[in-house]
Amino acid sequence: MSNKPLARSVRLIFRNNDQTNMKRILLASLLIASLGVHAQTTTQPTVATKAQAEKTSPEARADQLTAEMVKELGLNDEQATQLAGINKDHAAAMDQLNKAGLEGEAKKARAQVLADKYDGRVKALLTAEQYEKFVVMRKAKRDAAMEKRQQLQAAPSSK
């Protein structure tokens, strides 16, 4: 009779070890699977989406643009002050346009009118040399934004 309790104890030990081993195997499998999923996620450069742009106030966007232009174009204090006003007016006008709910060609036409007005005011403020730098700077920003947009559009289709 003394062998039965020993055999029972040995079976319990092995059964517990089997359960413990199974738990360890399951935990290891989950860990490996989660690492595999994490390794598959890629970090893409972020582009300001409409939602992100809406979080930033028009005034903040205008201030950021003004600071960048002052630095890149070498503006004096008077030009910087006037440019800040121009940029704030333009940012507010574009914000109103986006909130107006216009679609398609109507929105595009109104945006072009606003852009032409902005361009005329900036051209009147800057020297010829500064304006040339401004045009190059604006084209570079547009090209970079277009490239990022194309990369984001191409990324989902490559899956």
User: What three-state secondary structure class fits 107?
Assistant: helix
This prediction has a pTM of: 0.60
Helix (H, G, I), strand (E, B) or coil at 52: helix
The yes-or-no verdict on residue 114 having pLDDT over 70 is: yes
Instruction: Name the amino acid, one letter, at 132.
Output: E
pLDDT of residue 81: 94
Average pLDDT on 138-153 reads 90
Q: pLDDT digit string (tens) for 35-85?
A: 666 555 555 545 555 555 556 888 999 999 999 999 988 999 999 999 999
What residues does each domain of the chain span? 1-41, 50-157
By C-alpha distance, which of 63, 118, 47 is closest to 86?
A: 118
